[in-house]
Structure 1
Amino acid sequence: MSAEWEIGPACPSCKEPWLRPTSLPGRYRCVSCLHRFELLSVCADCGEHGTIVRMSTTAMTLCNHCGASMLAEV
């Protein structure tokens, strides 16, 4: 019996699934590499504007248009 566990979103820096929201809205920290990230409203790759749900723990961190990360390292 194999079970696939989803630990969490992948960190843009180390690619490990340990990205977690911090106490600040729209901010994330990787538990593995300790890099910090901020959720942006504009995609750095395609320039598409995205809606940010900062208070949600299920906030989308990928661009709906091109699929790139909406997180920028701080």
Structure 2
Amino acid sequence: MADRGGGDRKGLSEPRPLGLTCPGCGEPWLRPSTLPGRYRCVNCLHRFELRSVCPDCGEHSTIVRMSSTATTVCNHCGGSMLVEV
């Protein structure tokens, strides 16, 4: 029997990323807010701020506060650079 969809079905099996993972609840629903360097989880509604000093290891890192290029993981230890506000 022929496939009536007419398209390639490879894309259906791959999960699409939903967003950044929330450090509070662990779900991928962290979204940037209107303020630079601030995030809010759509799932648990906690607010977070991006810091330049890692709360886990204390390593200082340069941060980019633009939402499209923000790195929320410490380059030294791999911990979260987000602190709950």
Q: Same fold (TM over 0.5)?
A: yes
User: How many pairs does the alignment contain?
Assistant: 74
Residue of 15, 26, 29 corresponding to 1:18: 29
Higher relative contact order (CA 8 A, sep 6+): 1
- Aligned to 2:31, what secondary structure does the other structure show? strand
Larger radius of gyration: 2
Deviation at 1:57, TM superposition (A): 2.1
Aligned to 1:33: 44
- Structure with the higher fraction of residues in helix conformation: 2
CA distance in 2 between counterparts of 1:32 and 1:56 reads: 19
TM-score (norm 1): 0.94
Q: Which runs of 4+ in 1 moved over 4 A?
A: none
Unaligned ranges ≥5, structure 1: none
Q: CA RMSD in A?
A: 0.9
